[in-house]
Amino acid sequence: MKTTIQVDVEVKKMLDELKIHERESYSSVIRRLIMSRIDEEPLSRETLKKIEEALEDIKSGRLYTSEDVRREVEGR
């Protein structure tokens, strides 16, 4: 089934620039863009937990600035 959608002229120009070849359909371009955003390997529970812990560390001020790391590496 096909349908018609309306897009701004600027959006159409962007879609034109994203075509792999001149005759590629807009449907194909849009499908490719959508598929590039789908994560087929979602984050594991363990990874999500580590991210949450890291965010808590940041909120609590338990972090090192790049300057802190530079001083540590340089032995100052």
Indicate the pLDDT class of residue 75, thresholds 50, 70 and 90: confident
Question: 63 near 57, Cβ under 8 Å?
Answer: yes
Q: What is the DSSP annotation of 1-45?
A: --------HHHHHHHHHH-SSTT--HHHHHHHHHHHH--SSPPPH
Percent of the chain with pLDDT over 70: 99
pLDDT at 55 over 90: yes
| pLDDT, position 40 | 84
> Where exactly are the structural domains of the chain?
1-38, 45-74
pTM beyond 0.75: no
